Structures are given as structure tokens and as C-alpha cells.
Amino acid sequence: MSSDVGEKARAVFLAALMVLSVVAMSTAFAGSAAAATTTVSPGDSIQSAIDNADPGDTIELEAGTYNQQTTVNKSLTLVGAGNSASGTVLQASSSGSGNGITVNASDVTVRDLRITDYGNGIRLKNTHSNIVFESVDSVGNSNRGMEVRNSADLDDLELNNVNFSNNVDGIRGATTSSIDGLTITESKFNYNTKGIEIYQDESSPVQLNDVTISDTEFIDNAQKGIYTEKLSNATLDNITVDGITSDTYVVNNGIDINLKYDSYENITIRDST
């Protein structure tokens, strides 16, 4: 009798082990299937590739020029073949109009491409988190290199080795936009009217909080290198601000921290020129 019980127990154990193995293999397969890569060539639609992608996928853009506007509305990685003029270039079909890339999703990474000749090179909108731009040039746009729209509520925006130059504004944060966690490293905001400008809402103040800007330059901007009306828990480390060029704008500043309509704290500027 005890031998029969032992055999039955062993059979049950082996069956359970097989079920667990099948479940583990299915989970691993599902995980690998969720991370597909789609390659887009000049002349193809970037938006179609995004629309057909699953969250977590990667869209690779081959070198060349894409005269398109693109909205990233799901979590994915958009990667080009380099941010030089010979790399991957998104360029407006009508000079100075539209938005090159609009991000309206969380967990988005954009890297290694160039955006130029739009109204706004990059537009961020609505409530999202974990957005990364790395080795992206947004240059020569008629308004902003990056626009953070009114009512945008962002957690953890990271800009690494970006070049937002030769625009009206490198970055503009609208009055009701909020960012909690902004990191800018090894970047350039040069030859704009203002390198970075952030505005505050008088009736319902919001925050620009937990900010680190390091190893970044603001050269030959016409009016201001950095202008902000809201800022807390911020460190500006090893930044260079030089060459405010306008001789007619009466309130030129390298860094203008003009805090309004709320309480702020913990702002440090160190090892900077």
C-alpha cells in the first residue's frame, strides 16, 4: 500500500513539475515576442510603424530624410542612425510648421536622430513618466526645440547629450506644465533667443521639481540662457552661460530665476561659468 502511495505522489509531483516548466517556457516566449524591432526606410511612414507596434517594441529609422510629423502614443523606443545631417533627419515638409515628434505616452526613449525646420521640434503633452531623449538634435525650428505643453504633467524627463540650438527657445515650459524629475546632462542650448524658459501659472501654481542640469552649455543666446518662474530642489553643476547677444532687450540675463506665485527651496549653482 505504501509503495502505491509513493508512486502516486511521485507521479503527481512530476506532473506538477511539467506544468510549471510549460508555464515558464510560455512566459519566456511571450516576453521575447513582446520586444519586436521594425525597420523604417526613407519614404516609409514612421507613424504606420508606430501604429502597428506593440508596447515595448523598437522602431529603427535608417539614415536619410523623413518629411513627416510623428506622434509616439505608446511605450516604445525610436532610434535613428545618428544625429548629424547624414544620419536620420526628420525635416518638416513645409518649412517652419508642425511638430516633428509629439510624445503622448510613458516609457518612451528617442535617440540618435536629428529634428529640424518644424514649428516645434519636439512636443510633450498630457500626464506621462519616464521619457528619455538621448543624442537628439532639435535645431533650426521656427519656435522651440522642445515644447512642454500646458497641462502636461511629467515625471522623470531625461535629456542626455541633446542639442537644442538655433531655435527661438531651446525648451519652453508652458505656464500650467509640471515636471517632477528633470535631468539634463552634456547638452547644448546655443544660439536661441532663450536657452530654456519656464513659466508659472498665477492662479494654480505648479512645480518644476527635482532638477539636475550638468555639464551643459548655454552659448550666444540672444536674451537669456535660463529663465524660470518655478524651481525647487535643483542643482546646476558645471554649466557654461556666455554671450548674451541682444543689445536691445533690456532685461538680459545669463540665468534669471524669477520665482512667482508659490514657495520654492533648495536651489544650488556650483562650479559654473
| CA atoms of 160 and 162, how far apart (whole Å) | 6
Query: Cα(129)–Cα(9) distance, rounded to whole angstroms?
Result: 50
Q: What percent of the chain stands above pLDDT 70? A: 88
Helix (H, G, I), strand (E, B), or coil: what is residue 271?
coil
pTM for the full predicted model: 0.88
Q: Is it the case that residue 25 has pLDDT exceeding 90?
A: no
Q: What is the mean pLDDT of residues 51-64?
A: 98
β 208-214/232-237 pair status: parallel
For the segment 100-109, the average pLDDT, to the nearest whole number, is 98
Mean pLDDT within 157-180? 98
**Mean per-residue pLDDT for 160-164?**
98
Cβ count within 10 A of residue 219? 18
Residue carrying C-alpha cell 528633470: 182
